[in-house]
Every structure is written in C-alpha cells, then in structure tokens.
Amino acid sequence: MKADLLLQDVRIVTMVGGRYGLIENAALVVHEGIIRWVGEALALPQVQARTVLAGRRRLVTPGLIDCHTHLVYGGNRAAEFEQRLLGATYEELAAAGGGIMATVKATRRTSAEALAAAARPRLRTLLREGVTTVEIKTGYGLDLETELKMVRVMEMLEEDLPVEIAKTFLGAHALPPEYRRRAEAYVDLVCDQMLPQMAERVEAVDVFCEAIAFTPAQTQRIFGRALEHGLSIRIHAEQLSNLGGALLAAGMGATSADHLEYLDGAGARAMAAAETVGVLLPGALYTLRETRRPPVDLLRRLGVPMAVATDANPGTSPCFSILTTMNMACVLLGLTPEEALAGVTVHAARALGRAGRLGTIEVDKQADLVLWDVETPAELAYYIGYNPCSQVIKRGRSLTLS
C-alpha cells in the first residue's frame, strides 16, 4: 500500500457512532488527504509511506469542528459586559441600540482587510486547540454590501489559514435601524436581493427567530427562499423564549437548531424525527448568566444528536476556546465528556452537513486529525485554561501551530 503518511504508535479515538471507539496500539494510513486504513498496529498491512510519524502513545481524535461562530466582526462590546454585570438585560441593551446593532455599526465602517486582521488571531486560537473546521456566519452587516464584505473576509481567512470554513448567511440576525417598523420590507430585501447574490458564496442560511428579531412566519419565508436556492437551513431558536422556531425549522428539514434553552417537547420530537442536530452553546448561557438550561435529558432520551460550539461573538459569548466550551457543556449542561467530544466532532459535522467526510476517524474520511498529550479522552473536557494539543493534521498535512 502506497501512502503519504503513516501514523503509528498512537491510541485512536474514532468517535464512530458518537462513542470514543478507542483503539489502543493503533496505526493509521493516509494518502492524498484521505484515511486509507485504520486499526490495530498488529494488523497493519505493508505500507510504503513518504512520511512516518511516531505518535509516542499520544491520543488521536478527529479534527475538532466549531459549528456555530460569529468570528468576523468590527469593534467589541466590553462596555455591555460591564452593563450586564450591573443588571442590564440582553433585551434592554438591544432596545437601547446596543447588542447586535452596536456590532453592525462597527462592522459596516470597518474595511475587509481590517476585519480579516482582527479575525485571524481568533481563528488561530481555535486552530491551536485542534479545530480544523469552523462555521462562520454573516449577520453584522444587515445590508447587501456589508454582508458580501463579510463573506469576502471569510474567503480571505480561508486563503491565509489552514482551516476549512463553512459559510452561513445570517442576514436575518436583527432588524437594521433603517428598517425600523418595516420588518416585512426588510424580509423582502433578504429574500429578493440578498439571498440571490449570497447563494453562490455560502452554503447555509440562518435566521434568529425570537421576539427581538424575526417571527416564525418571517423565518418560514426566508427558509422557503433559501431552499429554492439549494441552500441548507439552520436556526437560532428558543434562546430567550419559545416561539416554536425549532419545530418550524425541523419541519422544513433544517440541519440544526441552535441554543434551545426554551425548547419544548413538541420541538424536540420534531427535531428527532427530522434528524435535526441540536447545537448547544454554553458560552452564551454562561456570559448572560442565564439560569434556563436546554433540555439535555429530553434530547438525550429522544436521540437528538447534540453538537457543542463556542458561539464566538463580541457580545453574548466572547469565547474562542473549544476546549473551555466542552468543559462548560459538561459542568453547566450535564453532558458527559464523551458526549462533549461527540458534540465537537461527529455531531458538529452533521450540523454542517459534512458528516460524509468529517467528524470521525474512518476509512475514506478526510484525514483531519489531532494528536493530544493526554492519557484519556475525558481530559479534553476536564482541563480549564490548559491546551494539551500537540499536533494538528489537516487533509493529511501536519500544520505549524504558530
């Protein structure tokens, strides 16, 4: 067997079926960026490899996936962080022109080059923690020019850094001030002008379905147009109240419903039936000091796959650590370490519609791998403020973590 890379003397966590699937004394063969063989070293066939990498008993997992972020933005909202600590609510800040709209103003006036320069260190931080695929949303432009600028920044980042970026159009993130009291006119703009131009630049459409954002009826309109353009759909649902967004989105075939603090049984059952992934975002819950938790026991009982993501953004989750997010998912939401790791691998891949090639270590999957200096996989969700990532491999190539 010819190969570009032979990885041996490792312990492999396959994550097939959402379980650790630990293989002790393992080896792995990569050719042309694809896993060609994986298993116990004693069963390794004869291999002629260009590069042989001795893992020195390190643990190997699939490349981690951060499936919900807002990494591209202008400015920051540290002042709002102080205000919230003094008692201001998310809704009060938004009503006063803060929140998402504060970031919209900053993003509109910032050049693509400056936005990319600000986003690179955020993305590098994730890469150093083993994130090889990251989803990034638009939604801080809320006009066609700035939304397109944000996509251009994502393309710049993907050219500069060895990370795969899944691009999502979130034009329906908030109602821009120029459309105040004209929500239907803005939805018309999203459907008739923004979506057609975004369709060839992104792969998914997201909507913030909430009382301070867009109604279920408006969400349905936008999703219907997205599906006409062949885009997958995702939703911010049930974060602050229960409007039935997850139920609606699942009924339309959404790949994921995200947040879910106020999800009810009907919504959860619809997600289970549609195989819609529930994306849990403990960073937002932590930052906002919310006491309402997503119904993890219900999702678990119904078999709804649970992904975990940073929700990295300037206001409600200024978190750029996937490992810390895994810890929060366990401590705050009650996930097991195995579920947390599944949440940033196999289930995150499903949330992005990439489970066919990412998220597990199997033959014919893309060779996105991470080597860790740990004894057990549970340690990845155990530490706080410590990064045991030793080496990252993207499409079969070892990366320099600078």
Q: Closest Cα to residue 260, out of 321, 305, 320?
A: 305
- Position 72 scores a pLDDT of 98
Domain range list for the chain? 2-62+360-398, 64-351
Gyration radius from the chain CA atoms: 21
Q: Give Cα 108 distance to the centre of its chain.
A: 24
H or E element that contains 56: strand 48-62
H or E element that contains 283: helix 282-287
- Position 401 scores a pLDDT of 76
| pLDDT mean by block of 10 residues, the chain; 402 residues | 96 98 98 98 96 96 98 94 86 81 96 98 98 98 98 97 97 94 96 97 98 96 98 98 98 98 98 98 95 98 98 97 98 98 99 98 98 98 97 95 72
Q: Identify the CATH class of 64-351.
A: alpha beta
- Position 154 scores a pLDDT of 98
Cα→Cα distances 287→266, 322, 385, Å: 28, 15, 17
Taking residue 40's Cβ as centre, other Cβ atoms within 10 Å add up to 12
| Rounded CA separation 63/366 (Å) | 10
Task: Please check whether residue 26 is in contact with residue 10, taking contact to mean a CB–CB distance below 8 angstroms.
Answer: yes
Q: Closest Cα to residue 345, out of 396, 385, 380?
A: 380
Task: Please check whether residue 318 is in contact with residue 282, taking contact to mean a CB–CB distance below 8 angstroms.
Answer: no
- Position 97 scores a pLDDT of 75
Q: Hey, which bits of 173-212 come out as E strands?
A: 204-209
| Rounded CA separation 132/370 (Å) | 9
Specify the CATH superfamily of domain 2-62+360-398: Urease, subunit C, domain 1 (2.30.40.10)
Q: At what angle do helices 144-160 and 100-108 cross, to 10 degrees?
A: 80
Exposed / middle / buried, residue 338 (Cβ in 10 Å: 0-12, 13-18, 19+): middle
Task: Please check whether residue 63 is in contact with residue 45, taking contact to mean a CB–CB distance below 8 angstroms.
Answer: no
Question: Do you know the residue count of the chain?
Answer: 402
